[in-house]
Amino acid sequence: MKLLIFGKSGQVGWELQRALQPLGEVVALDASDADFADPRSVRSAAEAVGPDVIVNAAAYTAVDRAETDEATAMLVNAESVRELAAVAERRGAWLVHYSTDYVFDGKGSVPWCETDTAAPLNAYGRTKLAGEQAIAASACKHLVFRSSWVYAARGQNFVRTMLRLAGERQDLRVIADQHGVPTSAEFLADATCLAILRAHSSGGDGLSGTYHLAPRGHTCWHGIACETLRLAAAVGATLRVTPERVAPIGAADYPLPAPRPSNSRLNVDRVEALLGIRCPDWRVHLERTVAELVRGSNA
């Protein structure tokens, strides 16, 4: 099997380069090989490699910047994705793609199912939804994984920010009225490997579709911050801020350019049932990542 990964230097792309190795030959590209703001360059790169599976982890992920740069975000998150779907369709290849809880408006408190109506609140969500729709409109075999609140031991993410700020400040104020689940890039990559194996060996496109892929359980940003600091202290980090000094605040007290959904919970029953993936509790991978970050900073 020949696999082509886009977005190799991002949080998920980096982990995919490790996780997909057992499946076959892996070719991994970044923006210098194919610029997603130029969809033709993406099509050319994909055609030149000639893969059996395309895994797209490249995306315009600057949620707030997208509010004033929606045209570029649309090229990256939708138009280039349309080109990948066309290449996959022509080749009979699978396309694996990632989307987001931000396609939902966040109303209510029930975890979102794949069949629920998408209604993005912000520009990023609109462009990601357009990417999903471009794939669905093509006839390519696809796995679209909607995930939420991704973090890793590298890259820009909430967990790393909390550890840094807890070393610099005396106390922290963190949003407590947006609910969801943090997802480790490591878990996403490992689950993607299992899903590709299952889909590829199924032969046809019976498993083709959209899946919610995230850990089980849920929390809020304040909950992640407190758990991160607790786990860090447990493995010897010296931090100024203890969990007790993290104050819960409302999203209204921390205004950002892009509105975020209040309810980002994702129902993962479908991915577990159809693709045979077990989604662990969110604390399992957080503990590993925090330990890796603390040991790395002590080394």
Active site residues: 124
In the region spanning residues 74 to 103, those forming contacts with ligand NDP, defined by CB under 6 A, are: 76, 98, 100
Tokens 């609109």 belong to which residue?
A: 126
Q: Are the beta carbons of 200 and 266 closer than 8 angstroms?
A: no
- Mask: binding to ligand NDP, 260-279, rule CB under 6 A, as x and -? --------------------
Of 59 and 225, CB closest to ligand NDP: 59
Residue 147 in contact with ligand NDP, rule: CB under 6 A: yes
Task: By CB under 6 A, name the one of 65, 119, 155, 194 that touches ligand NDP.
Answer: 155
Of 140 and 185, CB closest to ligand NDP: 185
Residue 12 in contact with ligand NDP, rule: CB under 6 A: yes
From the CB of 245, what's the least distance to ligand NDP, in Å?
Answer: 25
Task: By CB under 6 A, name the one of 4, 13, 210, 213 that touches ligand NDP.
Answer: 13
d(CA 55, CA 12): 10
From the CB of 203, what's the least distance to ligand NDP, in Å?
Answer: 27
- Mask: binding to ligand NDP, 177-216, rule CB under 6 A, as x and -? --------x-------------------------------
Q: Are the beta carbons of 178 and 260 closer than 8 angstroms?
A: yes
The two structure tokens encoding residue 177: 């009225």
From the CB of 134, what's the least distance to ligand NDP, in Å?
Answer: 13
d(CA 282, CA 184): 8
Binding site for ligand NDP (CB under 6 A): 7, 9-13, 30-31, 35-37, 57-61, 76, 98, 100, 128, 147-150, 155, 185
